[in-house]
Amino acid sequence: MITIAAFIIMMSLQAHKEEPKGAEPTIGAKAILSIEFDNIVGEQNLQLNTGAYTNGSGENYSVSLLQYFISNISVKKADGTVYTVPQDSSYFLIKESDPAARYAKVQVPEGEYSSITFVLGVDSLRSTMDISKRTGVLEPSGGMEDGMYWGWNSGYIFFKFEGTSPHAPVDPTGQHKFRYHIGGFGGYAAPTINNIRTITIDLTAAGNAKVRSGRVSNVHLLVDLAKLFNGSTTVRIAANPTVMFSAYSANIADNFNNMFRHDHTEN
């Protein structure tokens, strides 16, 4: 666990590292790069409520809600040049329930990119900014179902995943529900668990993104929820039907990295 202060220093060091040395290079015209988050479960498409799945521990489940923040996007060329999207334009809430909200669309200079990097979650700096700087998808309000912010000032829920399983205990509504609400780094009172994970996707094998004006290059990622249960930690619904603001949440966050794989790019 690291403190907010340490994290802020890390972030600023990182920002400096990416700054070009010497004169500002001329940045060419910008065009749209789209990143598609296609949620699946193993070999199956994700179908909210109706899809029936079995995790690596043999537990049956279905999924009723899936949404997560993608932020701080940067792209890299084969020659090592990195372009970081201006942070204010770099927060997206991916929602399985809304087909229009399965993409992160950013403007980057025209060119060919061989890798992309993003944060799954919301960085601590933004989490602690004044509310006027947390608009759009970062608006802390929101219903109980949809809400991605913990009202008691402990920051954003980065990843919200709910469903039913006979292996989950019966809740007051009579359903066997599991709930994984992973997030937390932020808050004003004290630093909390750091569940921020940075994901880098290499595009060279399945197709570099060729960003040009007048076209939309779409990087199609598969996000495999089966890997959420089976990564560096095997997560069993029976043992952990509800994971929110606890130390165990970091184990689930550690499994995030394995969920993403690049399927193809439409150029």
Smallest gap, in angstroms, from Cβ of residue 69 to Cu ion?
22
**Residue (105 or 220) nearer to Cu ion, CB:** 220
The answer to whether 156 and 223 are in contact (CB under 8 A) is: no
Smallest gap, in angstroms, from Cβ of residue 266 to Cu ion?
5
**Residue (176 or 220) nearer to Cu ion, CB:** 220
Smallest gap, in angstroms, from Cβ of residue 36 to Cu ion?
6
Nearest residue (beta carbon) to Cu ion? 220
**Residue (212 or 220) nearer to Cu ion, CB:** 220
| Cα 97 to Cα 53: distance, rounded to the nearest angstrom | 18
Q: Would you tell me how many other CB atoms lie within 10 Å of the CB of residue 47?
A: 14
Q: 61: which 2 tokens? A: 């489940």
**Count of residues making up the chain:** 267
**Residue (39 or 251) nearer to Cu ion, CB:** 39
Which three-class secondary structure state does DSSP give residue 48? coil
Smallest gap, in angstroms, from Cβ of residue 264 to Cu ion?
6
Give 2-10 contacts, CB < 8 A, sequence gap 24+.
2/191, 2/194, 3/191, 4/124, 4/128, 4/191, 7/124, 7/125, 7/185, 7/191, 7/194, 8/124, 8/125
**Residue (34 or 242) nearer to Cu ion, CB:** 34
Smallest gap, in angstroms, from Cβ of residue 232 to Cu ion?
29
Question: What is the contact surface with Cu ion in residues (CB under 5 A)?
Answer: 220
